[in-house]
Amino acid sequence: MDIDQEKIDFLQEKILEWYEENGRHFPWRNESATNYERIISEVLLQRTRAETVANFYPKFIKEYPSWKQLGKATEKELQQALKPIGLYKQRGTRLYKLAQEMKERKGRFPVKRDRVEEMSMMGQYIANAYELFILKNPSPLLDVNMARVLERFFGERKLADIRYDPYLQELSQKIVNHPNAKEINWAVLDFGGLICTKRNPACKDCILNKRCNYFESPSFEFK
């Protein structure tokens, strides 16, 4: 599927304007947030609502303010620490493994992206966050919220798993290929969480509806 550059430009301009007025405020988005705090936030956000993590996050960061401190925690301590946001046994074990890997690496990530993806709890999404926040490269935080916004606006993907769909991967990369890549990511994520929701999206009030495929023909069910 061809990707319309004019539509990309339109979405980037409009959604940044929207974000400036309506974007959500989370502690990991503060200018003062460290690379550790940003990566940990993305780890915690997996399968968990941002508002839930926002309530939990300050206490967690206060207790574990760095990779060094996180690496001192036992597996059971991390499981207990993550209990308020659910999935704590599985996620606590994986976070413990990541903390031990980072402890061995003295808090430094591998230089090569493919090595980052091999680490515990990483995968494509966190590796993209690593590129965005640490390497300062435009990289999409592509999750179901971002996928929903982009598919409704531009057209559907072909594959069920967003990680392997070449169209959605290329499209999301083009969307964040912008001087304000970080803000573009946050804007699309917030837009998907507040306006372009899975059920009952606010299409009539949407700033993108003049160019949106879904608004013109809401004929498909989002995967």
Residues 43 and 126 in one domain: yes
pLDDT band at 220 (very low <50, low <70, confident <90, very high): very low
* Residue 98 maps to a domain: yes
Report pLDDT digits (tens) over 122-163: 889 999 999 999 999 999 999 999 999 999 999 999 999 999
Report pLDDT digits (tens) over 56-113: 999 999 999 999 999 999 999 999 999 999 878 888 999 999 999 999 999 999 888 8
Average pLDDT, stretch 196-203? 94
pLDDT at 78: 96
CA atoms of 119 and 185, how far apart (whole Å): 23
CA atoms of 39 and 122, how far apart (whole Å): 10
**Residue 53 corresponds to which tokens in the numbers above?**
């993590």
Q: What is the DSSP letter of 164?
A: T
Contacts of 64 (CB under 8 A, 6+ apart): 40, 70, 73, 81
* Residue 159 maps to a domain: yes
pLDDT at 139: 97
CB-hemisphere CA count at 13 Å for 30?
A: 10
Residues 11 and 36 in one domain: no
pLDDT band at 1 (very low <50, low <70, confident <90, very high): low
CATH number of the CATH domain containing 43: 1.10.340.30
* Residue 223 maps to a domain: no
The answer to whether 63 touches 70, Cβ cutoff 8 Å, is no
Residues 45 and 114 in one domain: yes
The backbone torsions φ and ψ at residue 194, rounded to the nearest 5 degrees and listed phi first, read -110, -35
Q: Provide the residue count of the chain.
A: 223
Model confidence at 221: pLDDT above 70:
no
Write out the H or E segment, with its range, that includes residue 125. Answer: helix 123-133
pLDDT band at 192 (very low <50, low <70, confident <90, very high): very high
pLDDT at 66: 96
Average pLDDT, the chain: 93
Query: What are the DSSP calls for 146-195, one per residue?
Result: HHHHHHHHH---SSSSTTT-HHHHHHHHHHH-STTHHHHHHHHHHHHHHT
Model confidence at 178: pLDDT above 90:
yes
Based on the structure, what is the number of domains in the chain?
2
Number of Cβ atoms within 10 Å of the Cβ of 166:
11
Cα 153 to Cα 12, 191, 195, 209: the distances in Å are: 12, 12, 13, 8
Number of Cβ atoms within 10 Å of the Cβ of 157:
20
- Domain of 85 in residue numbering reads as 27-133
Model confidence at 222: pLDDT above 60:
no
Model confidence at 223: pLDDT above 70:
no
